[in-house]
């Protein structure tokens, strides 16, 4: 996925984007070596998609389908992630979205239990496309 653009889907209004930043803790790890399950990353995508619906329609909407999901790198406890998304197409009730998870810092447990580093360039961990639906009777317009 390309970095989030500043262009709106219709070319006239402001783009609808959402960005969440968080640290994956040991409670997020599910597998040996502090590996985080892909399901946890999908949950983070759902949170960003929900915020996009709130921003565009004043309603949480419903995530109807993932059109594609690409797991590119493993995520581990101690990773600092930026989860971002944007609406790329708006239909009558559907909202097509592009989502991305980037790692911008990580723990270095092989150095010491508290060692960490900021990455020179963020690493793309996951990218996805999804479709959310906001029923027309629930659309109230965007919220700032």
* Residue 82 and residue 21 in contact, taking contact as beta carbons nearer than 8 Å: yes
Structure tokens at 21: 């930043």
The pTM is what? 0.87
pLDDT of residue 141: 79
pLDDT of residue 15: 84
Does the structure show a pLDDT above 80 at 4? Answer: no
Q: Domain 22-137 belongs to what architecture?
A: Roll (3.10)
pLDDT of residue 122: 98
- DSSP, residue by residue, 1-51: -PPPPS--TTSSSPP-EEEEEEE--GGGEEEGGGEEPHHHHHHHHHHHHHH
9 vs 53, higher pLDDT: 53
Domain ranges of the chain: 22-137
- Residue 143: φ, ψ to 5°: -120, 135
Name the helix (H) or strand (E) containing 99: strand 94-107
Q: Which of 4-13, 63-72, 93-102 has the lowest mean pLDDT?
A: 4-13
Does the structure show a pLDDT above 80 at 12? Answer: no
Question: How far is CA 68 from its chain centroid?
Answer: 13
Site of tokens 């239909």: 91
Q: For residues 47 and 60, give the distance between their C-alpha atoms in angstroms, rounded to a whole number.
A: 10
Does the structure show a pLDDT above 50 at 1? Answer: no
How confident is the model over 51-94, as pLDDT tens digits?
A: 999 999 999 999 999 999 999 999 999 999 999 999 999 999 99
């Amino acid at each position: 996925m390309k970095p989030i653009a500043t262009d709106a889907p219709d070319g006239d209004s402001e783009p609808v984007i959402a960005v969440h930043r968080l640290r994956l803790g040991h409670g997020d790890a599910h597998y040996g070596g502090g590996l985080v399950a892909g399901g946890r990353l999908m949950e983070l995508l759902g949170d960003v998609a929900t915020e996009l619906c709130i921003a565009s329609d004043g309603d949480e909407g419903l995530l109807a389908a993932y059109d594609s999901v690409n797991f590119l790198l493993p995520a581990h406890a101690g990773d600092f992630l930026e989860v971002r998304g944007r609406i790329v197409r708006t239909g009558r009730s559907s909202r097509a979205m592009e989502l991305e998870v980037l790692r911008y810092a990580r723990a270095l447990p092989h150095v010491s239990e508290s060692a960490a580093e900021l990455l020179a360039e963020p690493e793309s961990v996951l990218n996805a496309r999804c479709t959310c639906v906001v029923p027309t009777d629930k659309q109230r317009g965007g919220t700032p």
